[in-house]
């Protein structure tokens, strides 16, 4: 399957919907992000992804990673491709120039990461984990730590990981047992085993910088007693060069359902030398810098797999012939009509397209918030940074939870378009579905994202203010079109109704939760999915509004066809996908007893 970067759609969002040129002009670090510079980056990333990374996707899945005596070898071609990635300076796009980066806004890295993830998600995992490592050191590292680690990480010659999970704990980090014992020289002896460590061991870089959660012997119990440490694979000498091997050993790599070209390691820390980053017993707060980066990165995985599956399914639907269309022959000179003439096939293709293009708009909008927050932090404007962090925090669980669920659906639909051929490895469609499956699991399952959204962000964090603020934005978009005829008017009226419904739903849950302690848990996933469908409706209405205005001005035959397709896809979304929100609305308000009344003992297998 060939990958083609969706540059036209990306340009539509950047220049005609979200006005990225004005956004970059408003940023302190946006002066170099001119339209010409952004276009050059998009073109360069597209070439890397189409010509270098995409051809390794199927073969990397077939071969997988190799483990022998503590060492991991990546699939054939990965090392050479990574060398090209480093030579192109791609890792440093959005990092400060003082550490060798190009100093561009954070969103520029999002555009590149989307293309890389769509072309070859397994490969994208290696530099992708480093981004969170870099951000954590930038935010919490000492001046010396920044000088020691960031130049090589930003250049891509070193890579990074995050090491949270242990055999007895995944999400519940209060159970972390890895020990950190202080040493006289100010370093720490780190002992314990971490599992499911993406990019934990590989042959792409000389050194791997692990960000590790551990607990001091006298630390408080629970999450309040966790600290964060930098533990390099190779210790640095007095010149800052990688030297002796630290006592961090890869004990195994996982045999996985998907993303087989990405090494997922078991790491044994046997008295390894580590260095405190941030404050003692405040490690979880610092780790969330890494986690939020990873969660938005995982949301990108949702749209990447939707896009990849759509790109595989569309040409197949145009070429494969089966039966005649219900309304009569469409390809009269052929033995049968192409699949694309059948309404149900179109339903599947349009669902994929709506997920990929709508989700892209959601992520690109969130990336603008991240740009603004970074500038506020850099400028020392704590109040503005806090406000933007809260707004981005509202987006994050919806992006991660909703878009990965939708990306998995889109991947499965791609297989369905192919029929039995979709189940065959050589076509690449089943690989997309296998690769997509992990996205709803790691960096917090959909259920965890839902609890974060409803419990922490909506009810406790803001007392529903975040919902009121976003629905006010929905109303502002809908208001000018409420009395209009045609598709824009229908979408505007639907959007306004959903804005009211979202607020009422939130209030009803908030009131009931006062007397029903289990309600948040029983309603949270339906609430998240409802929120996702409504938020996606807003971004489709926004695209439709821009497309209608551009279509009215007349841009030429090819451009007008693009804008018409935008309007038509938006109509499809409002007519066919947004109504799913009603089912989630009803389920979120269902009595908690429907979930909790069955006694645990009755979940038995002795039938």
What residues act catalytically? 443
Crossing angle of helices 486-513 and 580-588, rounded to 10°: 10
Residues in the chain: 607
Q: Are 558 and 539 in contact (CB under 8 A)?
A: no
Cα diameter, the chain = 84
Q: Is 464 helix (H, G, I), strand (E, B) or coil?
A: coil
End-to-end CA distance of the chain: 46
- Which residues on neighbouring strands pair with residue 248, listed in sequence order? 269
Q: Is 136 helix (H, G, I), strand (E, B) or coil?
A: helix
Between vectors from CA 136 to CA 402 and to CA 290, what angle results, nearest 5°? 20
- Strands 242-245 and 188-198, by their bridges, are unpaired
Q: Which residues of 195-216 are buried (b: 16+ CB within 10 A; e: fewer)?
A: bbbbbbbbebbebbbbbbbbbb
Between vectors from CA 44 to CA 43 and to CA 47, what angle results, nearest 5°? 85
Q: Is 203 helix (H, G, I), strand (E, B) or coil?
A: coil
The single-letter DSSP state of residue 170 is S
Number of other CB atoms surrounding residue 62 within 10 Å: 14
Q: Are 157 and 91 in contact (CB under 8 A)?
A: no
Token pair belonging to 441: 């699991």
Cα–Cα distance, 36 to 387 (Å, whole number): 32
Query: Which residues, other chains included, contact 371 with Cβ-Cβ below 8 Å and sequence gap of 6+?
Result: 23, 27, 30, 105, 106, 107
Cα–Cα distance, 159 to 134 (Å, whole number): 9
Q: Is 604 helix (H, G, I), strand (E, B) or coil?
A: coil
Q: Is 594 helix (H, G, I), strand (E, B) or coil?
A: helix
**Residue 126, burial from CB neighbour count under 10 angstroms (0-12, 13-18, 19+):** buried
Cα–Cα distance, 573 to 533 (Å, whole number): 9
Q: How far is CA 522 from the centre of its chain?
A: 25
């Amino acid at each position: 399957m060939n990958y083609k970067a969706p540059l036209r759609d990306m340009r539509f969002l950047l220049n005609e919907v979200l006005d990225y040129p004005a956004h970059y002009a408003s940023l302190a670090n946006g002066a170099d992000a001119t339209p010409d510079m952004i276009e050059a980056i998009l073109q360069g990333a597209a070439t890397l992804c189409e010509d270098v990374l995409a051809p390794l996707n199927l073969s990397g899945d077939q071969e997988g990673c190799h483990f022998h005596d503590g060492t991991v070898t990546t699939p054939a071609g990965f090392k050479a491709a990574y060398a090209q990635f480093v030579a192109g300076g791609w890792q440093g796009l959005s990092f400060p120039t003082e550490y060798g980066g190009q100093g561009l806004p954070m969103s520029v890295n999002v555009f590149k990461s989307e293309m890389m993830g769509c072309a070859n998600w397994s490969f994208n995992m290696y530099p992708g984990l480093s981004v969170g490592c870099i951000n954590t050191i930038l935010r919490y590292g000492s001046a010396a730590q920044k000088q020691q680690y960031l130049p090589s990480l930003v250049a891509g010659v070193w890579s990074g990981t995050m090491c949270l999970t242990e055999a007895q704990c995944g999400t519940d980090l209060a159970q972390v047992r890895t020990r950190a014992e202080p040493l006289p020289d100010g370093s720490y002896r780190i002992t314990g085993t971490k599992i499911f460590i993406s990019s934990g061991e590989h042959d792409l870089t000389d050194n791997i910088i692990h960000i590790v959660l551990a607990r001091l012997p006298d630390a408080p119990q629970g999450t309040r007693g966790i600290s964060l440490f930098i533990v390099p694979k190779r210790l640095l000498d007095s010149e800052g060069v990688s030297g002796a091997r630290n006592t961090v050993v890869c004990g195994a790599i996982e045999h996985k359902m998907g993303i087989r070209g990405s090494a997922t390691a078991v790491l044994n820390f046997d008295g390894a030398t580590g260095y405190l980053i941030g404050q003692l017993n405040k490690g979880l707060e610092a780790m969330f810098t890494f986690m939020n980066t990873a969660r938005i990165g995982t949301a990108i995985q949702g749209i990447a797999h939707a896009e990849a599956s759509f790109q595989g399914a569309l040409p197949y639907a145009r070429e494969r012939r089966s039966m005649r269309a219900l309304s009569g022959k469409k390809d009269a000179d052929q033995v049968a009509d192409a699949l694309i003439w059948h309404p149900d096939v179109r339903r599947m293709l349009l669902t994929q397209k709506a997920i990929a293009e709508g989700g892209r708009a959601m992520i690109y909008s969130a990336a603008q918030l991240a740009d603004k927050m970074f500038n506020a932090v850099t400028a020392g404007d704590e109040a503005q940074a806090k406000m933007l962090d809260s707004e981005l925090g509202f987006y994050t669980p919806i992006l991660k939870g909703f878009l990965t669920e939708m990306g998995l659906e889109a991947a499965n639909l791609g297989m369905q378009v192919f029929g039995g051929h979709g189940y065959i490895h050589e076509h690449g469609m089943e690989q997309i579905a296998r690769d997509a499956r992990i996205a709803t699991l790691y960096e917090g399952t959909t259920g965890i994202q839902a609890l974060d959204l409803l419990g922490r962000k909506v009810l406790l964090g803001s007392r529903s203010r975040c919902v009121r603020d976003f629905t006010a934005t929905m109303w502002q978009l809908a208001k000018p079109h409420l009395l209009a005829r045609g598709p824009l008017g229908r979408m505007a009226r639907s959007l306004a109704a959903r804005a009211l419904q979202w607020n009422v739903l939130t209030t009803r849950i908030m009131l009931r939760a006062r007397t029903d302690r289990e309600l948040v848990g029983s309603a949270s996933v339906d609430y998240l999915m409802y929120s996702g469908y409504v938020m996606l409706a807003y971004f489709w209405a926004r695209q439709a509004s821009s497309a209608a205005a551009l279509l009215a001005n007349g841009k030429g035959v090819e451009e007008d066809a693009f804008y018409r397709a935008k309007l038509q896809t938006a109509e499809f979304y409002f007519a066919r996908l947004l109504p799913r929100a009603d089912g989630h609305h009803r389920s979120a308000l269902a009595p908690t007893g429907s979930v909790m009344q069955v006694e645990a003992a009755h979940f038995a297998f002795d039938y």
